[in-house]
Structure 1
Amino acid sequence: MQPQRETPVTSVVVPFEPDTPPTPLTRLGHHGVLEHWYTDDRSTHAPHLVAVAGDDGAHWVAAALVTARPHTAYLKIVDVVGDVPKAVAAVVAHARRRKLAQVKWEGWTASPEDAATAGFTALRPPLTRPQDTAGPATGYVRWLDDEPPAAPPYYAQTTHFTCGAVTALVAQARAGTLPREALDRRAELTLWRDATNFPACEPVGLAVAVRRAWPSTPVTVHLDATGPVMLDHLPENEREWRAHLQHMSRADADRIGVPIDPHPLSAPAIRSALARRDQVLLLLSLAGMQGFDVPHWVLCHGTVPGNVVIEDSWANTATGNTWVDAHLLPVPDPLLDAMSHISADRFRGAVVIGHPRDAAGPPFASAA
């Protein structure tokens, strides 16, 4: 993408406080847009207003509502009121001052023409849209100075527990091993059923399921725990049989040739794997980005300076977080390292997927 020439814009940055909206904002009108801004509790995602003052300094000519997941390297424009080009230019300048990698823009009212003029590229819409998931039909992204990584298809998991299976499927679709049209709910639940430790997917079981589904694809587990994992939240009687399943997965891994490396993947190691054109399924805690300590699988598939670019198949729409946040999400290297320590045992787990050795066909048929 050619760098955009930007006219300097003097902006005002203030917190977004739903109970006390600033008078210059209410004077801008566009009440239908403003009403949407107050629909969700966005407080966990640092909501703030980036506004452009008029010549007299007493009123605003434009304002954007801006949010972002914590511990990431982007800003997201939820929507704009007033002079759209000036507001967007102010947000881009604000992101540059913070040395961020990217600005996104939800397409609630943004036109493709305005987005393109401001240097934004359209995101492909998600392949799935679960009934309980809200979000705009379109979205846009602008990378700041860095060459963007290729975008995989975005698939939103259709359950609360199939993130591991979805992450593996998106990796295979990105590699060309799985056709985009075969990335659907049937494939999601089929792979999850083979990988699950009920209901979550632990690293060895997920890797074994991937290898079974695509025998020609090299798969390596990185896990610095020798015993069962992701069971500490369960009562003792629920741990025993799940631990047995994990021992069975380790036996299966040994039998079909899935190596288990006891060394965790640091951010530099993830970068090295991506430089080899491998893909990394990384288990991380959502405490940093979403505020609750739940293990969750994401796909690491690209890099820009200082950040690893991930795909997250889940977004907390109750907080105004949508697929636009979760798709092509840059995370600073040290923060990704911190997020990858899971539970009180602080184990770290990942699955590295290499290139297939031959052109094996897709293991799943697309649902009717």
Structure 2
Amino acid sequence: MTSQRETSLKPIVVPFTAGTSPSPLSRLGHHEVLERWHAVDRSAHAPHIVAVPGEDGEDWTAAALVTARPNTAYLKIVDAIGDVPAAVAAVVAHARGRDLAQVKWEGWAARPEDAAAAGFASLSPPLAQREAATGPEAGYVRWLRGSTVTEPPYYGQTTHFTCGAVTALVAQVHAGVLSREEFDRRAELTLWRDATNFPACEPVGLGVAVRRAWPSSPVAVHLDVDRPVLLDHLSENEQEWRAHLQRMSRADAGRIGVPIAPHRFSTAAIRSAIGRREHVLLLVSLAGMQGFDVPHWVLCHGVVPGAVVVEDPWANAATGDTWVDAHLLPVPDPSLDTMSAVSADGFSGAVTIGRPQRSGAPSSEPADE
């Protein structure tokens, strides 16, 4: 329900530029917070200030620094200063005006009681992150469209190349197949070692590794090309032996019963799979969210009106991106559809993991949507 305070707010929204601060912002004080705002180049995430004007029309009574990854359906409050409840309410009103699915709040200085009073729920802290990762110990989320999504654990990949293994492990913890205590770096590297095409995990190899690790979980691969993938950036000699490994993975898939659907797995198919309580490991390009066309695995595990909710095991600290951005991340359907076309190699790929089956139960065939 929208509060009277939110509906009556007319926030001031101005761009945030590193190295400069509007006079009304400087007069609010909190210089240690402002230093954090300027510590990294946030320009890739459309940083802006949402402020509450004072009665004189010149000063501000509150302000928040707000950012978000491009092509997503959320806003993130980095910090709120001054009259914190008023600043947060202004951001929520701003997000509603943009018809977004969610507002997040980084817990650098936010108090849990203030977050709860503003309608935010606490996010579970990460199970692990890379040593170079930066971010607050706490984070909060508020859904805006009457929807909530069951929260999986957040686990930041500890290497540059284990995103596929991490998404599979998060899916299995979320499904209740794997306990949080069993999800650690050893599990991450063990699954990656079985799935890797050195160093990347391609769809068929990942699907085969998941089925081997959890034989009771139905697994299907969705790959719209009948050739080796993720190799175009390598020399001919480097491509040759990796291509051979991928052909071996296809043979393994046939032997252990992992079907390979030769079609692109559409956003509509992702929504249908999630509706059946399946998890979708989706190969995307990071061009839309991070500005560079690198293939990367994310986990699709929830849906809200207009967006699919994903877990991204990687955050770009250089842009102020943290685990709070990457966790419970809503991506609009059209954006996700664009991201899932891995342009550098001209294909799309996904792996679906179904609910564990009892012994003797028939396995489901993959949807070719």
Match of 2:351? Answer: 351
The farther-off stretch of 344-353 and 88-97 is: 344-353
- How far is the alpha carbon of 1:59 from its aligned partner? 0.6
Match of 2:156? Answer: 156
Whether the 8 Å CA contact 2:145–2:305 is kept in 1: the answer is: no
Whether the 8 Å CA contact 2:223–2:347 is kept in 1: the answer is: yes
- How far is the alpha carbon of 1:85 from its aligned partner? 0.6
1:200-349 correspondence runs (5 A):
200-349=200-349
Whether the 8 Å CA contact 1:230–1:343 is kept in 2: the answer is: no
Provide the C-alpha distance between the structure 2 equivalents of 1:345 and 1:127, rounded to a whole number of angstroms: 32
Provide the C-alpha distance between the structure 2 equivalents of 1:123 and 1:4, rounded to a whole number of angstroms: 22
Whether the 8 Å CA contact 2:223–2:261 is kept in 1: the answer is: yes
- How far is the alpha carbon of 1:235 from its aligned partner? 1.3
Provide the C-alpha distance between the structure 2 equivalents of 1:186 and 1:105, rounded to a whole number of angstroms: 31
Superposed CA deviations along residues 109-134 of structure 1, whole A, max 9, x for unmatched, are: 00011100100000000001332111
Superposed CA deviations along residues 282-307 of structure 1, whole A, max 9, x for unmatched, are: 00000000000000000000000010
- How far is the alpha carbon of 1:5 from its aligned partner? 1.9
Q: SS at 1:80's partner residue? A: strand
Look up the equivalent residue of 2:201 and give its one-letter code: C
Whether the 8 Å CA contact 1:4–1:119 is kept in 2: the answer is: no
How many positions carry a matched residue from both structures? 357
1:119-134 correspondence runs (5 A):
119-134=119-134
Unaligned residue ranges in structure 2 (runs of 5+): 360-369
Whether the 8 Å CA contact 1:66–1:75 is kept in 2: the answer is: yes
Q: Quick check: 1:39 aligned with 2:39?
A: yes
- How far is the alpha carbon of 1:9 from its aligned partner? 1.5
- How far is the alpha carbon of 1:206 from its aligned partner? 0.1
Unaligned residue ranges in structure 1 (runs of 5+): 360-368
Q: SS at 1:350's partner residue? A: strand
The CA RMSD measured in Å over matched residues stands at: 0.9
Look up the equivalent residue of 1:256 and give its one-letter code: I
Q: Quick check: 1:84 aligned with 2:89?
A: no
Under a length normalisation based on structure 2, what TM-score does the superposition of the two structures give? 0.95
Match of 2:180? Answer: 180
Under a length normalisation based on structure 1, what TM-score does the superposition of the two structures give? 0.96
Match of 1:29? Answer: 29
Superposed CA deviations along residues 97-149 of structure 1, whole A, max 9, x for unmatched, are: 00000000000000011100100000000001332111000000000032211
Look up the equivalent residue of 2:141 and give its one-letter code: V
- How far is the alpha carbon of 1:4 from its aligned partner? 4.7
Q: SS at 1:61's partner residue? A: strand
- How far is the alpha carbon of 1:343 from its aligned partner? 3.0
Q: SS at 2:55's partner residue? A: coil
Match of 2:58? Answer: 58
- How far is the alpha carbon of 1:183 from its aligned partner? 0.7
